[in-house]
């Protein structure tokens, strides 16, 4: 399995930007899917963006055109660049990795978009 550590969350005004980073350690060569989910208060955890088997990232409809996902597979890193942030993007963001049919999660990092 892998251990995941997020960084880069914080408070930002609407229209601002943040970059989240996730560092994987452990069995990173067996990661098949890696990316980000988020959970807002009183809501279900939802996909934000992930790299899957095909290599191209998949994005939630609500973040397309505003968020980009990049990675360094050799180092086990994935990055989420978030631009034009909106109050509805406020949530705890979790790094996710699938390894050998098991889901792995980071501790989460808070992103708050507010004026």
- Between strands 10-12 and 109-113, the pairing is parallel
CA gap 115, 44 in Å, rounded: 25
Q: Give the model's pLDDT for residue 54.
A: 62
Sorted by sequence, the CB contacts under 8 Å of residue 101 that are 6+ apart come out as none
Name the CA radius of gyration of the chain, rounded. 13
CA gap 84, 61 in Å, rounded: 15
Q: Are 6 and 109 in contact (CB under 8 A)?
A: yes
Tens digits of residue pLDDT in 39-84:
999 999 999 999 976 678 999 999 999 999 999 888 899 999 999 9
Q: Give the model's pLDDT for residue 94.
A: 98
């Amino acid at each position: 399995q892998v251990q995941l550590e997020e960084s880069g969350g914080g408070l930002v005004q609407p229209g601002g930007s943040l970059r989240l980073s996730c560092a994987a350690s452990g069995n990173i060569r067996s990661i098949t899917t890696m990316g980000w989910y988020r959970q807002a208060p009183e809501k279900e955890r939802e996909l934000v963006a992930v790299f899957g088997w095909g290599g191209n990232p998949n994005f939630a409809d609500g973040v397309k055109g505003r968020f980009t996902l990049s990675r360094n597979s050799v180092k086990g890193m994935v990055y989420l660049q978030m631009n034009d942030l909106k109050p509805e993007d406020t949530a705890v963001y979790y790094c996710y990795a699938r390894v050998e049919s098991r889901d792995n999660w980071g501790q989460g990092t808070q992103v708050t978009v507010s004026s």
